[in-house]
Structure 1
Amino acid sequence: MTILDIGCGPGTITVDLASYVPQGHITGLERVGTVLTQARALAKEKGVTNVDFVEGDANALDYADGTFDVVVCHQVLQHVQDPVGILKEMRRVAKVGGIVAVRESDYGSFVWYPDVEGMEEWRSLYLKVAKSNGGEPNAGRMIHAWARKAGFQVGGIKSSSSTWCYSTKEEIAWWSGLWAERTVASSFAKTAVDGKLATSANLEKIAEVWQKWGEQEDAWFSVVHGEVICRKEE
């Protein structure tokens, strides 16, 4: 079996998938080639040899029609300007009878407790920043429709949803710390300030909100995802 993992990043999912096809091969593709150094290092560390990593553009895949048995992407389509176009490319390079699988989070469906003042302001800002970049942060609820527009038959699209849940002390500390840092020191922060959607002071305040939420004894967070498994029928 041959698999293509689009938007593989540091290769954590790619390397895991490789263990499912020890007699096959998986390719991780990433537009930002610098991160592939980490991916190759991870594969070497895990002793995984049936994998390779390449730099490429998912909008125009450099593969012939019907090359792969499975084409996957995880948390990618929410960030792109033409998700249907990428799904068409994924469908094109999949073999007839092959599978295209996608999983995307849905920010509008995130749920947390307790409702610390400022958390909704964070979500509102995130939605604005993501959309200003041409993305769709509520992609999870839309990917089944995008798949149909990309040419998959309704009967060949299996939709589902799943969640990540952060509830232990360690999980809450990691999740709140991640977002506190991301709010002030990431491309999100730069886009927010450059686009005049927020000031540095606004972002610092939101980072403090995340830290405050993470200090709550009963803190709990659920991340909702939409998923599709699409079979290429022709």
Structure 2
Amino acid sequence: MSDHYIHGFSDAERLRLIAQAQMLSTPVFDGLDFSGAQHLLEVGCAVGAELHLLEQRASHLALTGLDLSGRHLQAGRSWLAEHERISLVQGDASSLPFADDSYDIGMTIWLLEHVHDAEGVIRELLRVVKPTGSIILTEVDNHSFGFDPAQPAISAWWDAFNRCQAEIGGGDPYIGSRLRQITEGLGAEVLTEAPRAVISSSDSTRSRADQLHYLRELLESGSERMLTHGYATTEMQRAMATAFDQLRSQPDKAFHYSAVRLICRKPPMH
């Protein structure tokens, strides 16, 4: 994750990541079984928000998080200083500083959209995870985001957001749709692949207002880089904000945003 990370490294972004982890904990973690594992590695851990939730769900795990950003890690170490089972390490996801077969579980959550070599990251995870372990990739497919009926101002901003992320940040905001192709190309055995409803107006377990607030914060988090690099204008930003304001009082307007969770492992030994 480079300095061109579209969301930036501000204190506001730290708080947004922590709130995001809480908001999306169900689609990210539900259905996962950590009972047979001892050591888990999250690559692209940012400030450690997902590791904090993992510690609550599986207190027996020794948790390691790796991130390229010293600024994210500094914030994470301060926030998680009292959490002895969580270790944060600075390093490159495409060249992990760990021995072969070191971990029971390797994980990415919203990382691969931000890297230019997703294949290299997954290859490294396959190397450092034990043959008996698993790799859990939970990643976006930004084609899935939308409103019904369509909201042109929000769609225009979202299109610019994705172009900025891909061209300035070097990532792939549609990586979720390619996970199986990449993992099978590396010889991994895919165990499961399933869509995960990140945000949905039909989800009665989370309030409509909270979900719209999350979406708005997500889109606005890219504004500094989008405006600086000419991917958007202040007029576009105002129109997007106005559309979100109006949606708060329009309960008939539907919205949806989904991701893909793929679980794989090293191919069986012959």
TM-score by length of 1: 0.84
> Residue 185 of structure 1 corresponds to which residue in structure 2?
none
* Alignment CA distance shift 1:143-1:200 (3 Å): same
> Residue 30 of structure 2 corresponds to which residue in structure 1?
none
Percent identity over the alignment? 23
* Alignment CA distance shift 1:211-1:232 (3 Å): same
C-alpha contact 1:180 1:208 (8 A) present in aligned 2: no
C-alpha contact 2:108 2:138 (8 A) present in aligned 1: yes
Q: 2:229 aligned with 1:230, yes or no?
A: no
* Alignment CA distance shift 1:212-1:179 (3 Å): farther
Q: CA RMSD in A?
A: 2.4
C-alpha contact 1:172 1:220 (8 A) present in aligned 2: no
> For each residue in 1:3-47, what CA deviation from the matched residue of structure 2 results, as whole angstroms up to 9, or x when unmatched?
101111221211222345434411011111222344334435xx6
C-alpha contact 1:105 1:139 (8 A) present in aligned 2: yes
SS at match of 1:126: helix
Q: 2:186 aligned with 1:147, yes or no?
A: no
Q: 2:10 aligned with 1:10, yes or no?
A: no
Instruction: Tell me the amino acid that sits aligned with residue 175 of structure 1.
Output: Y
Instruction: Tell me the amino acid that sits aligned with residue 102 of structure 1.
Output: L
Task: Write the distance in 1 (CA, Å) between the matches of 2:211 and 2:57.
Answer: 31
C-alpha contact 2:146 2:155 (8 A) present in aligned 1: no
Q: 2:236 aligned with 1:202, yes or no?
A: yes
Instruction: Tell me the amino acid that sits aligned with residue 211 of structure 1.
Output: D
> For each residue in 1:75-103, what CA deviation from the matched residue of structure 2 results, as whole angstroms up to 9, or x when unmatched?
00011101001000111111112111101
Task: Write the distance in 2 (CA, Å) between the matches of 1:15 and 1:172.
Answer: 21
* Alignment CA distance shift 1:170-1:120 (3 Å): closer
* Alignment CA distance shift 1:71-1:179 (3 Å): closer
* Alignment CA distance shift 1:224-1:172 (3 Å): closer
Give runs of aligned pairs for residues 209-228 of structure 1, distance below 5 A.
209-228=243-262
C-alpha contact 1:3 1:70 (8 A) present in aligned 2: yes
TM-score by length of 2: 0.74
Instruction: Tell me the amino acid that sits aligned with residue 183 of structure 2.
Output: A
> Residue 163 of structure 1 corresponds to which residue in structure 2?
197
Instruction: Tell me the amino acid that sits aligned with residue 217 of structure 1.
Output: P
Structure 1: give runs of 5+ residues left out of the alignment: 183-187
Q: State how many pairs are aligned.
A: 225
Instruction: Tell me the amino acid that sits aligned with residue 118 of structure 1.
Output: A
Q: 2:217 aligned with 1:178, yes or no?
A: yes
* Alignment CA distance shift 1:114-1:99 (3 Å): same
Pick from 90, 95, 101 the counterpart of residue 136 of structure 2.
101
Residue 55 of structure 1 deviates from its aligned partner by 1.5
Pick from 117, 121, 143 the counterpart of residue 86 of structure 1.
121
Bigger Cα displacement from structure 2, 216-225 vs 2-11: 216-225
> For each residue in 1:107-126, what CA deviation from the matched residue of structure 2 results, as whole angstroms up to 9, or x when unmatched?
11113234333222123212
Bigger Cα displacement from structure 2, 78-87 vs 172-181: 172-181
Q: 2:161 aligned with 1:126, yes or no?
A: yes
Instruction: Tell me the amino acid that sits aligned with residue 174 of structure 1.
Output: H
